[in-house]
Chain A
């Protein structure tokens, strides 16, 4: 292994570790930054989330999925145009908690991050674009799928339907495309393509990294 590859591996390993310790270990400065952006209550909300996240059960406990889903679903729903004044915004979990508002991808991302923080392997999680049959229309939607075993029927973590149901029982959802970031540390080297080609996901990770370095 030549030096650049060692460095890259090291960097990725650190990032991976960092991903596992994010909101649960939120620094004082991240709290301050959120207070400055979203008002004094925002800091409190981040700290409250932190406390709740620390109290989540371990990865081995089946209750973790249920509890994480519920924790994120406590945040009120808001369209991006209202919450962020843009058409589409993928909020970091910190922003999502501090702003105390979000839409489907924000819930999904927050759930993904808290499970990963808790030590759930990336290949058990997939962020899934789905088409959702709502009461009056069909809409694009995003959920998190949890695969206890690779070939298993996954559990769906959804903010529209807060119950934790197997995908086979969610006839209202049909998957379109899914990704996670497991490619990032396969064999200690980044494989091209995959989720890094989902531009918003890439940008999101960049912002998360900045928040972590605060």
Chain B
């Protein structure tokens, strides 16, 4: 809005240029008038002296040749001079003043310049006279009146030429001044642009180096402010990043920790062919006792390195003293089994080379198969215990292999169920079997309790039996079969059918990466805008998608805002680079990953939330969260600076009113 105001009010460049133009104009008019008056005076003087010269020379000639009463001689002397055309009147009088000869042009003789010009110039026709004398005797006198015709022409041509030059000069000066001002004010324009950016929380340095001292200081001051702000934001961001890392990673090995493993499991558990292994190494405590904790730590790091090297394609975590977890995709048991054997062999060689250290390792695998994280971990633990009991007789490979096979046998049926999901989703799309629910996100600020910030659109798919399937279940499948784009379109179409209520809080629609990263997203957004009409809509993007496609994300955010959509980041605070996106995209809000809100009773979790809130607050981005349990859980979030929350206790999802 400040933008628009500044566009309407005149620019400094324009004002200065107008002032300069006015000064040029005045100066040039002044020069012209001066020049004109000067030329006019000169022409007038010329006319006068011309008349006098003619009179004097006629008088001289007459003084030598003229006798009293000799009209013929007088006329003969005057006529050639008169016929040159420069004189309006030549008269010769005798000593008593009686007219002897008078030659006169008609009064109304046309002048060769515009009438108004002649009127304006109003040249006087000078009269000159000279006495005609012969010796002491006065014979009479000659009167000469100049004709101003040629003077007018001279004045007219001179004026035209002067005006031409002055106008050309004016144009040149205007052009020069305009260019000069542009150069002079370029830094100012740059600073103005940077200020507008800063007001939109995009802090950037002004790169131009102005020549004017005042501007230099101004730019230096501005840049100092920007640098300080940038540094503060960067520091807070680094701190939050640090907390995030600490909260989600293991300090000793740098691997993911148990919390992070839970996040990943929750996130990916619906993937098919996903396996979880627990790897437990016993005997580290013996090393601790015998050689000290640093030796024990060194051993754990070596073991962790082995795990990471063997399972290069998997996600690794350290979840106990010497217990690791590996999550990887494999179509059957052969690859995990082979890799497990090579890991155990590696462990053996490492320990054998080391001599004294007796460490006993076991590995238990279980397929994830869409179970809750705790359930999967329990199953993997069970597999581990079985492996250990079977491998008790120095035969670790056997125990592992047999356990793997047995656990596989139980799970295979569920894993291969992907095909059914594809059918279910396609059917639902084809027959409009989607149900939209709205869950309110409530303001947590003391002043605006019970205010609904926006309503998240939750999509449920109906299966053949008409049962509602939650997004957490169908989403990974839709992603796998490439149906997310169509689902997003469907959701928007359904919402578009809703009657518009201008006072209602905006909808927040989850938008998949497949949708927002498409090349024609700009046209798509315009189409959605047309379809959604006056509905206020925010699009929620997932942080883990954003972090790896920052350019596409920025592009989307810009295009969305251009057509009046808001942009939020969902599942915020757990992915690498997410915090940087905060600064990059300046979303309308961020919604913390559910695991973070769950975790705030622990220091690490609370610190992370606090740190995120600090960064976000500097950039004036509201932080929202999921609230679990009773309403007082939301109060705890509010104390950390979270500005809004959604949860069952705050407001359960409600079906969208069917249209009509």
Chain A residues in the interface with B (C-beta under 8 A): 126, 128, 145, 147, 150-151, 153-154, 167-168, 174-175, 178, 183, 186-187, 191-194, 197
Listed from nearest, the 6 A-B pairs whose CB atoms lie closest are A193-B52, A192-B48, A167-B136, A151-B95, A150-B95, A193-B128
Q: Check if B129 is an interface residue, CB within 8 A of chain A.
A: yes
**What's the nearest-Cβ distance from chain A to residue B95, in Å?**
4
A153 touches B49 (CB 8 A): no
Give Cα A137–Cα B420 distance, bound, in whole angstroms: 148
Q: Check if B131 is an interface residue, CB within 8 A of chain A.
A: yes
A194 touches B129 (CB 8 A): yes
B126 touches A192 (CB 8 A): yes
Excluding A191-B126, A193-B128, 10 further A-B contacts by CB distance (< 8 Å) are: A145-B136, A147-B138, A151-B94, A151-B96, A175-B135, A191-B129, A192-B48, A193-B51, A194-B129, A194-B130
- For residue A154, which residues in chain B have a CB less than 8 angstroms away from its CB? 136
B137 touches A153 (CB 8 A): yes
- For residue A168, which residues in chain B have a CB less than 8 angstroms away from its CB? 136
- For residue B48, which residues in chain A have a CB less than 8 angstroms away from its CB? 192-193
Give Cα A134–Cα B133 distance, bound, in whole angstroms: 24
- For residue B131, which residues in chain A have a CB less than 8 angstroms away from its CB? 126, 178
A175 touches B49 (CB 8 A): no
- For residue A128, which residues in chain B have a CB less than 8 angstroms away from its CB? 136
Give Cα A167–Cα B138 distance, bound, in whole angstroms: 12
Give Cα A126–Cα B135 distance, bound, in whole angstroms: 13
Give Cα A136–Cα B410 distance, bound, in whole angstroms: 162
On whether A191 and B96 interact (CB within 8 A), knowing A151-B138, A153-B136, the answer reads: no
Give Cα A197–Cα B45 distance, bound, in whole angstroms: 12
Give Cα A179–Cα B88 distance, bound, in whole angstroms: 25
Q: Check if B55 is an interface residue, CB within 8 A of chain A.
A: yes
What are 5 residue pairs bridging A and B, where the CB atoms are less than 8 Å apart in the complex?
A: A151-B138, A151-B139, A192-B51, A193-B56, A193-B128
- For residue A192, which residues in chain B have a CB less than 8 angstroms away from its CB? 45, 48-49, 51-52, 126, 128
Closest B residue to A192 by beta carbon equals B48
Partner of A197, one of B52, B97, B135: B52
Q: Check if B388 is an interface residue, CB within 8 A of chain A.
A: no
Chain B residues in the interface with A (C-beta under 8 A): 45, 48-49, 51-53, 55-56, 94-97, 126-131, 133, 135-139
- For residue B94, which residues in chain A have a CB less than 8 angstroms away from its CB? 151
Give Cα A168–Cα B135 distance, bound, in whole angstroms: 10
**What's the nearest-Cβ distance from chain B to residue A15, in Å?**
19
Give Cα A194–Cα B136 distance, bound, in whole angstroms: 18
Give Cα A126–Cα B133 distance, bound, in whole angstroms: 12
Partner of B49, one of A147, A186, A193: A193
- For residue B129, which residues in chain A have a CB less than 8 angstroms away from its CB? 183, 186, 191, 194
Give Cα A154–Cα B51 distance, bound, in whole angstroms: 28
Give Cα A193–Cα B94 distance, bound, in whole angstroms: 21
- For residue A147, which residues in chain B have a CB less than 8 angstroms away from its CB? 138
- Could you tell me the dominant secondary structure of chain B's interface residues? mixed
Give Cα A29–Cα B634 distance, bound, in whole angstroms: 108
A150 touches B97 (CB 8 A): yes
**What's the nearest-Cβ distance from chain A to residue B51, in Å?**
7
Closest B residue to A150 by beta carbon equals B95
- For residue A193, which residues in chain B have a CB less than 8 angstroms away from its CB? 48-49, 51-53, 55-56, 128, 130
B128 touches A191 (CB 8 A): yes
B136 touches A175 (CB 8 A): yes
**What's the nearest-Cβ distance from chain B to residue A126, in Å?**
8
Give Cα A26–Cα B288 distance, bound, in whole angstroms: 134
**What's the nearest-Cβ distance from chain A to residue B238, in Å?**
85
Partner of B52, one of A145, A167, A187, A194: A194
Closest B residue to A170 by beta carbon equals B136
**What's the nearest-Cβ distance from chain B to residue A148, in Å?**
12
Give Cα A126–Cα B132 distance, bound, in whole angstroms: 13
Closest B residue to A130 by beta carbon equals B136
Closest A residue to B47 by beta carbon equals A192
**What's the nearest-Cβ distance from chain B to residue A10, in Å?**
18
On whether A178 and B128 interact (CB within 8 A), knowing A151-B96, A194-B52, the answer reads: no
On whether A175 and B133 interact (CB within 8 A), knowing A192-B128, A193-B48, the answer reads: yes
Give Cα A156–Cα B138 distance, bound, in whole angstroms: 14
**What's the nearest-Cβ distance from chain A to residue B215, in Å?**
53
Give Cα A40–Cα B127 distance, bound, in whole angstroms: 47
- For residue B55, which residues in chain A have a CB less than 8 angstroms away from its CB? 193
Give Cα A18–Cα B130 distance, bound, in whole angstroms: 25
**What's the nearest-Cβ distance from chain A to residue B73, in Å?**
18
A150 touches B52 (CB 8 A): no
- For residue A151, which residues in chain B have a CB less than 8 angstroms away from its CB? 94-96, 137-139
- For residue A167, which residues in chain B have a CB less than 8 angstroms away from its CB? 135-136
- For residue B126, which residues in chain A have a CB less than 8 angstroms away from its CB? 191-192
- For residue B53, which residues in chain A have a CB less than 8 angstroms away from its CB? 193
- For residue A175, which residues in chain B have a CB less than 8 angstroms away from its CB? 133, 135-136
Give Cα A186–Cα B53 distance, bound, in whole angstroms: 18
Give Cα A153–Cα B136 distance, bound, in whole angstroms: 7
B127 touches A191 (CB 8 A): yes
- For residue B128, which residues in chain A have a CB less than 8 angstroms away from its CB? 191-194
Q: Which of A145, A147, A193, A197 is most buried by chain B, counting CB atoms within 10 A of its CB?
A: A193
Give Cα A154–Cα B133 distance, bound, in whole angstroms: 12
Closest B residue to A5 by beta carbon equals B124
- For residue A191, which residues in chain B have a CB less than 8 angstroms away from its CB? 126-129
Closest A residue to B124 by beta carbon equals A189
**What's the nearest-Cβ distance from chain B to residue A185, in Å?**
13
Give Cα A154–Cα B138 distance, bound, in whole angstroms: 9
Give Cα A193–Cα B128 distance, bound, in whole angstroms: 7
Give Cα A154–Cα B136 distance, bound, in whole angstroms: 7
**What's the nearest-Cβ distance from chain A to residue B133, in Å?**
7
- For residue B130, which residues in chain A have a CB less than 8 angstroms away from its CB? 193-194
A174 touches B135 (CB 8 A): yes
Closest A residue to B127 by beta carbon equals A191
A178 touches B96 (CB 8 A): no
B96 touches A150 (CB 8 A): yes
Give Cα A191–Cα B55 distance, bound, in whole angstroms: 12
